[in-house]
Chains A and B, each alone.
Chain A
């Protein structure tokens, strides 16, 4: 009998341990829920005490983002935030509402996977688990502004009038934030006009001057650029690090979208093939560093260090602050900016309000504070060196030396950003941009490395596109 009891106990213990093993996440979220409930009680208490009118606002604002860029900007400018936890996962507002920062990296589509999952559950999720605000990059914003999907609220339904509230924003940032019916569903605090960032020491050695105006004359278009590249090569320097660096200037001047709305045909633009042709020419001429293959890898980052022989990079404002600066190991003031051979736009983080959010009032306030308030935008420009989305501020900054950057040797980069921003014409976007941009660079990367021939590269691109987007029926190449 005793044995029986012991064995029953043992069995129960084993069963319990396996069950807890399986249901670990469940019990975890349960404790989380109770914690939330007690929080709710507290916050509703304070809200009532304050006589707040926002009775129907939820208690948790969930913000989905792919890096801490959005978090640092919002915490810097949203005055309601009292404190942010040390690990950066939550912030508390004055009225007790909690902001939860949910950050997943962009790489390999992790961010979009998690976000899509959350948005698909938006209707059934508990109020405190609903997505309230999410970030989207230019490469995939169309996926989320689609009116048929209705994942993002229109700004109007939030109570923001794009024509008056966002009047100071650059026009192209508003156009790309619209759905297919022309209704704006997203807003951004930054515009991303690209410039040419170059090494002063190399310029001094090769051209005898490091003055941005003088160098700008040598980089004003692709023809002049080629002569400059030849001069650099003669002194043992490379103009750019690799063929991917120039891609955005071509990509941004495409006449048509990769995929026209409502169609399932990928049309490769002539501009892209021009990029392939020119890149081949440049690479064979030795204007690129042969050791660098594509962007966002360690070789590319090393090309920004002092031991590198690369003269320049094509970057918008964020590139200087987040890429060049951390990878540069020499003295401050070694870089400068000047005009790129072609004005272009690269990237941009947009802020969207998720449909069915339980905190529309807070969401509206945050979006306005982040993307429409000129004082806040000035602050972001000064603190984070973003090119912010306010025409008047940027116009003023172009001639205001308090915006000068130590990293650029006291140069005021806005002198070059601002005129660039005025002339930007955005290429038409499609929901397939991210995959097309990534896959065409990979497929033709092999060609540019002399691994495969031109037709094989085309074929590989077609295969890869069909894998990524099963609904694509045809891929058309220009004649």
Chain B
């Protein structure tokens, strides 16, 4: 009897301890979230100081967004993300496998780990501002190129589609490759050394070891990195915003979805911005679902899938 009541007490404390989080989440996240969805069905904006709406207009915001250039901006976002992500994952994999390789014995590992992580500590907007100044027409990069005689005229980096997109990609790469490296290192270190030793005894070379052992075994983490990076990429905003002064110039080719959203918020157009947010929410939701499935089902030591299998076996 006594023991039973004690048990109940413990779980009660658990709930009480997590209560502050849920209270904050409810007030500061859930209510605004529901409000956003609600307003997406309304015409609701400000013209000067006059407020127009909210008038219920059904799905009109969603329809007019589909008719607008939204898909083009989604494409821009995808391209900008790819330019950053492809080199990021390649370099990170390479660095991670080098760093954890016991035979290479790289010195000053700790130092390099800190250095590659450093760019991530700078605020994205400050980083973008730095690049903006560095690569401006009369900036230091152009001065160096001119004085070295590499070009005769200053190169207009931010005046071309290729230049702007590359700069955004490079910045995203520099900011995030350290983070990814450290995550992948943790994943590789999680692989049992026995497997590596066994492979070496069987005469595996380092290429084979990487592609046949390391890569398959860190697949869940790789998938996780991929999906979180896509979700982060969907929300890409500060770097292109600062670099192009919020214009997505040239010709709106570096305008991301969130910059598009921000343009609507300039006129406090909560209706249209809400509808766009709902679209983004759905896409991120699908991506989250995928990552959930991957991390749960493919787990080698098996939480969900393995336990299901076990149950089935047991029944048989």
Contact residues of A with B, CB < 8 Å? 7, 11, 14-15, 18-19, 22, 108-109, 116, 119-120, 143-144, 146, 148-149, 151, 290-293, 297-299, 302-303, 431, 442, 445-446, 449, 451-452, 456, 460, 463-464, 467-471
CB distance from B188 to the nearest CB of A (A): 37
Contact across chains for B267 and A469 when beta carbons are under 8 A apart: yes
With A291-B154, A299-B138, A442-B247 as contacts: A468 and B263 at CB distance below 8 Å: yes
Check B69–A146 contact: CB distance below 8 A.
Answer: no
Residues from chain A with Cβ under 8 Å of B29 in the complex: none
Q: Are A146 and B136 in contact (CB under 8 A)?
A: no
Cα-based distance from A210 to B46 in the complex (angstroms) = 52
Q: Residues of A contacting B269 with CB < 8 Å?
A: 470
Given contacts A293-B137, A467-B264, contact A18 B20 (CB under 8 A): yes
- Complex contacts, A119 vs chain B, CB 8 Å: 49
- Contact with A291, one of B28, B138, B267 (Cβ below 8 angstroms): B138
Cα–Cα distance between A392 and B21 once the two chains are bound (Å) = 67
Interface string of B1-38 (1 = CB under 8 A from A): 00000000000010011011100100110000000000
Which B residues touch A431, using CB under 8 A?
Answer: 47-48
Number of chain B interface residues as a range:
35 or more
* Count, A-B residue pairs, CB within 8 A: 97
Residue in B21, B137, B245 whose Cβ sees the most chain A Cβ within 10 Å: B137
Between A and B, 19 residue pairs with Cβ closer than 8 Å are A11-B17, A15-B19, A18-B21, A116-B46, A116-B49, A148-B50, A149-B50, A290-B153, A293-B159, A297-B245, A298-B136, A298-B139, A299-B138, A451-B161, A460-B251, A463-B68, A469-B267, A470-B45, A470-B264
A292 and B138 alpha carbons, distance in the complex (Å): 8
Across the interface, do B272 and A470 meet the contact criterion of CB distance under 8 Å?
Answer: yes
A6 to chain B, nearest CB (A): 11
Residue contact A456 to B264, C-beta cutoff 8 Å:
no
Nearest Cβ on chain A to B261's Cβ, whole angstroms? 10
**Contact (A452, B250) CB under 8 Å given A290-B153, A291-B138:** yes
Q: Is the CB of A471 within 8 A of B52?
A: yes
Q: B266 near A: Cβ within 8 Å?
A: yes
Is B303 on the interface with A (CB-CB < 8 A)? no
Return chain B residues, CB-CB under 8 Å to A120.
49
CB distance from A18 to the nearest CB of B (A): 4
Tell me the B251-301 residues at the A interface (CB within 8 Å): 251-252, 260, 263-264, 266-267, 269, 272
B310, CB-defined interface residue at 8 Å: no
- CB interface residues, B 103-150, toward A, < 8 Å: 132-133, 136-139
- B-side contacts of A471, CB under 8 Å: 45, 47, 52
A460 to chain B, nearest CB (A): 6
- A451–B49 touching, CB < 8 Å: no
